[in-house]
């Protein structure tokens, strides 16, 4: 039975990705060995990791000023690695507090140095994006940190101001979902389990010149330089997780890359937001259309009774993981790259049918 899985991460993968991943578990790259049993120093794994890096650079049109790393520890490990590497005793980091993950990142920076909030939408449970100036000159700034897409609350930055310091962005839930100009940023990171692959690897796109700003002793495993110098294989890398990224990025390339997926993602989000606005039983959680995420569509029922009935209706119609995050409630439909347009259309039909039955 086909299930429509709206999980926010780990999220759905294109079927071709997991079918090829299954093949690789049995026989990777004609080696007659499982990818799970091959040395990360073997030529086929070394070239697979290299190929994945080149795919990232090609799909996002990244110049050689940048390197691509595949690290352990999820996106959450980046929350502490960033201040450890780039915040000194004489500088300050600035954070845009637009959700739980942004606040977690800020917390780590505060533990390790001097960090301030540039803006915050905590006053209204993060259901909007604070308005920003076009340009900032920040005192003693080490960097400014953004969360491009707020997975829990359903907001997404569509553009960024300019700053007199490096810009670091957590793109865990929207990297590869649309065209971006990587050269606008100094470090981008993303846990793979939403739009890129499976849990276990975090992708980091780093401007190499940023490393010149390191000025203190950093534990070896937490130092970006270690991973840069050792091509993400200083220790045993999460080979299988990286391979799922490789397969997923090949799939993305085969359908026309970020330019094409962006069009599809826009169609999916427009369909869903339009139905939530039209349907007499639901409301969007994020009021301003320009703040709304194309990846995580958050909405609430008009009352508790409707909420309970719709959850039950979803279950009966094979819709899974549609519950909103516990701090928001209601519903959240995560519609990352691998969520087919047809499934969103089907879900819209289900919402209409629910309205007509209640």
Write down the least CB distance from residue 30 to ligand PMP, Å: 32
Write down the least CB distance from residue 191 to ligand PMP, Å: 3
Write down the least CB distance from residue 298 to ligand PMP, Å: 13
Write down the least CB distance from residue 285 to ligand PMP, Å: 16
Write down the least CB distance from residue 292 to ligand PMP, Å: 16
Active-site annotation, residues: 101, 170, 194
- Per CB under 6 A, residues contacting ligand PMP are 9, 74-76, 101, 147, 151, 170, 172-173, 191
Question: Could you tell me which residues come within 8 angstroms of residue 70 by beta carbon, excluding any fewer than 6 positions away?
Answer: 49, 52, 53, 201, 202, 203, 204, 232, 237, 238, 241, 242, 245
DSSP string of 217-274, one letter each residue = ---GGG-HHHHHHTTT-SS---HHHHHHHHHHHHHHHHTTHHHHHHHHHHHHHHHHHH
Q: What is the DSSP letter of 89?
A: T
Q: Give the nearer residue to ligand PMP in terms of CB position, either 221 or 346.
A: 221
Q: Give the nearer residue to ligand PMP in terms of CB position, either 56 or 102.
A: 102
Q: Give the nearer residue to ligand PMP in terms of CB position, either 151 or 244.
A: 151
The torsion defined by the Cα of 198, 204, 205 and 211, in degrees rounded to 10, comes to -170
Beta strands in the chain (DSSP E): 4-5, 66-71, 92-97, 114-120, 135-136, 141-147, 149-150, 155-156, 162-163, 167-170, 187-191, 202-207, 282-284, 296-301, 319-320, 331-334
Q: What is the largest CA-CA distance in the chain?
A: 64
Residue 154 CB neighbour total at 10 angstroms: 30
CA 20 to CA 249: how far, in whole Å?
A: 13
Q: Give the nearer residue to ligand PMP in terms of CB position, either 175 or 319.
A: 175
**Residue 1 and residue 185 in contact, taking contact as beta carbons nearer than 8 Å:** no
Q: Give the nearer residue to ligand PMP in terms of CB position, either 151 or 248.
A: 151
Q: Give the nearer residue to ligand PMP in terms of CB position, either 108 or 170.
A: 170
CA 358 to CA 355: how far, in whole Å?
A: 6
Write down the least CB distance from residue 294 to ligand PMP, Å: 14
């Amino acid at each position: 039975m086909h299930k429509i899985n709206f999980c926010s991460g780990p999220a759905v993968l294109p079927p071709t990705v997991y079918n090829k991943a299954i093949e690789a578990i049995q026989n990777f790259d004609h080696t007659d060995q499982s990818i799970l049993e091959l040395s990360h120093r073997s030529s086929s794994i070394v070239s697979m990791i290299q190929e994945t890096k080149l795919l990232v650079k090609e799909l996002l049109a990244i110049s050689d000023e940048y390197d691509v790393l595949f690290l352990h520890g999820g996106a959450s490990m980046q929350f502490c690695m960033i201040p450890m590497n780039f915040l000194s005793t004489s500088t300050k980091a600035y954070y845009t507090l637009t959700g739980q993950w942004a606040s977690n990142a800020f917390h780590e920076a505060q533990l390790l140095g001097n960090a301030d909030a540039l803006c915050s939408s905590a006053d209204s449970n993060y259901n909007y994006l604070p308005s920003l100036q076009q340009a900032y000159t920040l005192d003693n700034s080490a960097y400014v940190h953004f969360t491009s897409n707020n997975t829990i609350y359903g907001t997404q930055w569509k553009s960024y101001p300019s700053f007199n310091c490096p810009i670091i962005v957590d793109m865990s839930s929207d990297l590869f979902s649309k065209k971006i100009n990587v050269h606008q940023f100094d470090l981008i990171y993303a846990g793979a389990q939403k739009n890129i692959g499976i849990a276990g690897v975090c992708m980091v796109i780093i401007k190499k010149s940023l490393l010149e700003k390191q000025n203190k002793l950093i534990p070896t495993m937490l130092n970006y330089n270690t991973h840069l110098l050792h091509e993400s294989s200083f220790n045993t890398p999460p080979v299988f997780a990286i391979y799922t990224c490789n397969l997923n990025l090949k799939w993305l390339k085969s359908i026309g890359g970020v330019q094409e997926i962006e069009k599809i993602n826009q169609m999916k989000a427009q369909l869903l937001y339009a139905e939530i606005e039209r349907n007499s039983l639901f409301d969007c959680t994020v009021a301003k259309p320009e703040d709304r995420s194309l990846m995580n569509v958050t909405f609430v029922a008009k009352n508790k009774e409707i909420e309970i009935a719709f959850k039950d209706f979803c279950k009966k119609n094979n819709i899974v993981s549609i519950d909103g995050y516990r701090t928001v409630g209601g519903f959240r439909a995560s519609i990352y790259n691998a969520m087919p347009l047809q499934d969103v259309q089907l879900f819209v039909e289900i919402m209409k049918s629910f309205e007509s039955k209640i």
